[in-house]
C-alpha cells in the first residue's frame, strides 16, 4: 500500500482523509497523489466561446487552494504530488489510478447523509462501487490512525477469497488482527456447525494469519456489522463489493454504500473481480 491517491475538494472531510493517508505513507515510506477535479459550472464546461477568463479563474482558485493546503505542517517530509483533474472526479480518479499504479484510495465522506454532497453526482459512491483497488473512506479526524482490530465482513463464498486475501495483506501491513465476520440473519440462517465448517475452510484457503472467526446474529447484515464492530471496539470495518451493483451479493440493498454512510468509523472496501469465461 505504498501509492495512495487522495481526492480533495479542500473540505475538512477531505483533509481528514489526507491526514490519515499521510500517516500511512510515513509508516510505509509511501507516496501520496493528491487530486482535485475542477467542478466548473456547466456553461463553462460546455462552451468554447469567450469563457476562458472565467475558466482560468477556477484553475487559479484551485492552484491557490492547493498551495495553501501544501503549507500544512503535517505534510512536511511527505512525498506528495498534486494534480488538477480536467473532467469528472470519478473519471480523473480512474485515470490517475492507472497512470500512477495506485495501490489504494483514501477519501473523505460528508456527514451522515454520506456521499451526495462531497462530489456532484455522488462520485464517492461510484468510486467505492467500481474501484479495482481498495478504497478507505474516512469520516473523522484521526490524530493517530492505528488499526489494531479490523472487522472484515464476508459471506465466506469462493468469490470472496481473493478480496479477502487482499484484505489480509492490508491487515498485515498495518499490523492489525483481522476479525472475519459472518452475520447470521433470519433469511440466510446458518447453524453454528455449518458456519464453523464454512469459515474454517475459507480461512485455510486464504492462508489467514492473525485472525479470529466470528458469527453475529442480527436482523440485517448491516446492523450486524455495525453492532459487532462497536462491541469489539474495532477501528475499521472492511468488506468486499461487487462491481455490478457495488454490493456483496448476499446483502439486500446497497450495503457498502449504506454502511459507509452510517458508520462513523472508517470503512474499507475491496473489489470482487469476476472472471469472464
pLDDT given for residue 242 in this prediction: 64
Give just the sign of the alpha carbon dihedral 160, 249, 20, 80: positive
3-class secondary structure per residue, the chain: CCEEEEECCCCHHHHHHHHHHHHHHHHHCCEEEEEEECCCCHHHHCCCCCCHHHHHHHHHHHHHHHHHHHCCHHHCCCEEEEEEECCCHHHHHHHHHHHHCCCEEEEECECCCEHHHCCCCCHHHHHHHHCCCCEEEECCCCCCCCCCEEEEECCCCHHHHHHHHHHHHHHHHHCCEEEEEEEECHHHCCCHHHHHHHHHHHHHHCCCCCEEEEEEECCCHHHHHHHHHHHCCCCEEEEEEECCCCCCCCCCCCHHHHHHHHCCCCEEEEEECCCCC
**3-138 and 149-272, same CATH topology:** yes
Q: Are 122 and 110 in contact (CB under 8 A)?
A: no
Return phi, psi of residue 134, to 5°: -60, 140
pLDDT at 249: 40
Full pLDDT tens readout for the chain, 277 residues? 789 999 998 888 899 999 999 999 998 899 999 998 876 665 665 655 556 777 788 888 888 999 999 999 999 999 999 988 877 777 888 899 999 999 999 998 764 444 444 443 356 667 877 788 999 989 888 989 999 999 999 888 888 888 899 999 999 988 999 999 999 999 888 999 999 999 999 999 999 999 999 999 999 888 899 999 999 999 999 988 765 543 444 343 455 566 666 667 898 988 876 544 3
Are residues 103 and 4 in contact, defined by beta-carbon separation less than 8 angstroms? yes
Kindly list the domain boundaries of the chain, sorted by start residue: 3-138, 149-272
CB 219 within 8 A of CB 185: yes
Give backbone dihedrals phi and psi of 229, rounded to 5 degrees, phi first.
-60, -40
Interacting residues of 9 by C-beta distance below 8 A, sequence separation 6+ = 36, 39, 118, 119
Q: Give residue 50's pLDDT.
A: 53
| Residue 222: predicted pLDDT | 84
pLDDT of residue 250: 37
Kindly report the pTM of this predicted structure: 0.85
**From CA 144, how far away is CA 199, in angstroms rounded?**
32
Q: Could you confirm whether domain 3-138 is CATH 3.40.50.970? A: no
Report the CATH fold assignment for 149-272.
Rossmann fold (3.40.50)
Q: Would you say 115 and 125 are in contact if contact means Cβ atoms under 8 Å apart?
A: yes
Amino acid at each position: 500500500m505504498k501509492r495512495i491517491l487522495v481526492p480533495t475538494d479542500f473540505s475538512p472531510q477531505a483533509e481528514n482523509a489526507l491526514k490519515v493517508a499521510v500517516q500511512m505513507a510515513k509508516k510505509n515510506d509511501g507516496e501520496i497523489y493528491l487530486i482535485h477535479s475542477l467542478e466548473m459550472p456547466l456553461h463553462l464546461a460546455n462552451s468554447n466561446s469567450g469563457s476562458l477568463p472565467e475558466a482560468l479563474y477556477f484553475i487559479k482558485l484551485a492552484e491557490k487552494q492547493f498551495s495553501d493546503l501544501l503549507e500544512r505542517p503535517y505534510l512536511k517530509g511527505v512525498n506528495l504530488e498534486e494534480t488538477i483533474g480536467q473532467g469528472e472526479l470519478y473519471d480523473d480518479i480512474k485515470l490517475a489510478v492507472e497512470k500512477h499504479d495506485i495501490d489504494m484510495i483514501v477519501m473523505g465522506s460528508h456527514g451522515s447523509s454520506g456521499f451526495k454532497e462531497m462530489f456532484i453526482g455522488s462520485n464517492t459512491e461510484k468510486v467505492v462501487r467500481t474501484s479495482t483497488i481498495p478504497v478507505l473512506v474516512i469520516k473523522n479526524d484521526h490524530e493517530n490512525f492505528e488499526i489494531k482490530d479490523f472487522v472484515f465482513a464476508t459471506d465466506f463464498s469462493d468469490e470472496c477469497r481473493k478480496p479477502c486475501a487482499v484484505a489480509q495483506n492490508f491487515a498485515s501491513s498495518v499490523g492489525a488482527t483481522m476479525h472475519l465476520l459472518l452475520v447470521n440473519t433470519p433469511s440466510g440462517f446458518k447453524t453454528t456447525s455449518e458456519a464453523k465448517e464454512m469459515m474454517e475452510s475459507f480461512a485455510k484457503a486464504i492462508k489467514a494469519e492473525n485472525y479470529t472467526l466470528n458469527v453475529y446474529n442480527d436482523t440485517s447484515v448491516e446492523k450486524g456489522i455495525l453492532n459487532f464492530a462497536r462491541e469489539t471496539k474495532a477501528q475499521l470495518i472492511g468488506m468486499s463489493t461487487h462491481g455490478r451493483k457495488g454490493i456483496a451479493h448476499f446483502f439486500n440493498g446497497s450495503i457498502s454504500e449504506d454502511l459507509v454512510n452510517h458508520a462513523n468509523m472508517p470503512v474499507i472496501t475491496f473489489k470482487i473481480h469476476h472472471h469472464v469465461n
